[in-house]
């Protein structure tokens, strides 16, 4: 199979582009630039981009059923966020378990809960993070403790399994998700990434395969449901961060990236660091689940 190259690149130069997702109802592609406190909104039909300033850093977010608001994991908590009125209705502000802790990766599961994990961003990151879930009329629950950098959160097509990575460990783990209470089983190892490749944002396609951005390795990898590598897509920068399937047919792979922390020589060599890359993979994704209030 010939190497794929992006057919389009959004030249946005994000410091830390992340959390990309597709709103199929409105045909809008969303993502966050965490460190710049910005949300990007690309209207697919019109080909227009809006950049919206957020009141705080947004690590991840999800769509809400029947609403134009978002559920957002801000640095310090989870809230219902009206991007146009700039109103924030806090749902959960759990106390941090150490200094320099903020919310990071997140996603809505197939039953309409929002999940998001915290991370340490100090000079010497410590395993003080948690993976939380929150559903309507309930408090946030911590499911996993001892996390350094929460990432790779996604769900199997039937919602029965949750994939999750603590990036520095270079391990993606899979958990059974027991309903109706949303309880996780003990984890098992799904896959281990190569040296220098840290699992970042991920999504699942219609075949149940996991697509994961490999921070530090300039690629996105598709894993079969048994954890074996199916294919690798090169990305023209070393820090790809998150992936989703977009477009009316859900067949366009979209990849965010980051330029934060790269030195001048690397930025000169990687002029597309921080941009968003679009690929035709011949694979179809799944509609994004929506939070239910």
Q: Is the pLDDT of residue 1 over 70?
A: no
CATH 2.120.10.30 at 8-291, yes or no:
yes
Average pLDDT of the residues in 71-99: 92
- What is residue 99's predicted lDDT score, i.e. its pLDDT? 79
Average pLDDT of the residues in 205-229: 98
Within 10 Å of residue 275's Cβ, how many Cβ atoms? Answer: 22
- Confidence label for 96 from pLDDT (cuts 50, 70 and 90): confident
Q: Is the pLDDT of residue 137 over 90?
A: no
- Confidence label for 122 from pLDDT (cuts 50, 70 and 90): confident
Q: Is the pLDDT of residue 97 over 80?
A: no
Within 10 Å of residue 251's Cβ, how many Cβ atoms? Answer: 17
Nearest to 208 by CA among 156, 283, 285: 156
Within 10 Å of residue 148's Cβ, how many Cβ atoms? Answer: 18
- Residues of the chain with pLDDT > 70, as a percent, come to 99
Average pLDDT of the residues in 162-191: 97
In 93-192, at which residue ranges do the beta strands (DSSP E only) sit? 101-108, 114-120, 129-134, 141-147, 150-155, 161-166, 171-178, 183-184, 188-192
d(CA 76, CA 56): 9
CA distances from 134 to 70, 154, 215, 224 (A): 14, 15, 28, 29
Mean pLDDT for the chain?
96
How does pLDDT run across 15-41, given as a tens digit for each residue?
Answer: 999 999 999 999 999 999 999 999 999
Q: Is the pLDDT of residue 160 over 70?
A: yes
d(CA 168, CA 147): 9
- What is residue 226's predicted lDDT score, i.e. its pLDDT? 98
- Confidence label for 138 from pLDDT (cuts 50, 70 and 90): confident
Q: Is the dihedral of CA 55, 105, 149, 159 positive or negative?
A: positive
Q: Is the pLDDT of residue 123 over 70?
A: yes
Residue with tokens 């957020």, as numbered in its chain: 54
Q: Is the pLDDT of residue 165 over 80?
A: yes
Given a contact cutoff of 8 angstroms between Cβ atoms, the answer to whether 9 and 17 are in contact is no
* Helical ranges in 62-185 per DSSP H: none
Give the Cα-Cα-Cα angle 53, 240, 291 (nearest 5 degrees).
Answer: 55
Decide: pTM greater than 0.95.
yes
d(CA 125, CA 119): 8
- Residues of the chain with pLDDT > 90, as a percent, come to 93
Within 10 Å of residue 42's Cβ, how many Cβ atoms? Answer: 22
> Which are the catalytic amino acids?
200
d(CA 106, CA 153): 6
Strand pairing category for 150-155 and 161-166: antiparallel
Q: Is the pLDDT of residue 284 over 80?
A: yes
Backbone angles phi, psi at 111, to 5 degrees: -95, 0
- Confidence label for 224 from pLDDT (cuts 50, 70 and 90): very high
Q: What are the structure tokens assigned to 24, written together?
A: 């199929």
On the 0-12 / 13-18 / 19+ scale of CB atoms within 10 A, 278 is middle
């Amino acid at each position: 199979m010939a190497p794929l190259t992006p057919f389009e690149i959004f030249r946005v130069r994000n410091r830390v582009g992340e959390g990309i997702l597709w709103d199929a109802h409105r045909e809008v592609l969303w993502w966050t630039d965490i460190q710049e406190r910005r949300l990007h909104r690309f209207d697919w039909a019109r080909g227009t981009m809006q950049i919206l300033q957020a009141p705080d850093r947004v690590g991840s977010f999800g769509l809400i059923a029947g609403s134009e608001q978002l559920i957002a994991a801000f640095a310090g908590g989870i809230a219902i966020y009206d991007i146009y009125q700039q109103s924030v209705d806090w749902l959960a502000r759990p106390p941090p378990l150490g200094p320099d802790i903020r919310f990071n990766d997140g996603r809505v599961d197939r039953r309409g809960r929002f999940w998001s994990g915290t991370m340490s961003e100090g000079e010497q990151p410590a395993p003080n993070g948690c993976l939380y879930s929150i559903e309507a009329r309930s408090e946030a629950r911590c499911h996993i403790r001892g996390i350094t950098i929460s990432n790779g959160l996604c769900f199997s097509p039937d919602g029965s399994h949750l994939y999750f990575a603590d990036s520095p460990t270079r391990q993606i783990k899979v958990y059974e998700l027991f309903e109706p209470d949303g309880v996780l089983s003990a984890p098992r190892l799904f896959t281990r990434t190569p040296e220098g490749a840290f699992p970042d944002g991920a999504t699942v396609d219609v075949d149940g395969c996991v697509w994961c951005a490999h921070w530090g390795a300039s690629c996105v990898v598709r894993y079969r449901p048994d954890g074996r590598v199916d294919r690798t897509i090169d990305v023209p920068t070393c820090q790809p961060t998150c992936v989703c399937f977009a477009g009316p047919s859900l067949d366009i792979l979209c990849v965010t990236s980051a330029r934060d922390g790269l030195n001048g020589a690397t930025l000169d060599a990687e002029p597309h660091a921080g941009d968003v890359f679009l690929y035709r993979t011949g694979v179809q994704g799944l509609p994004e689940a929506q939070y239910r209030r």
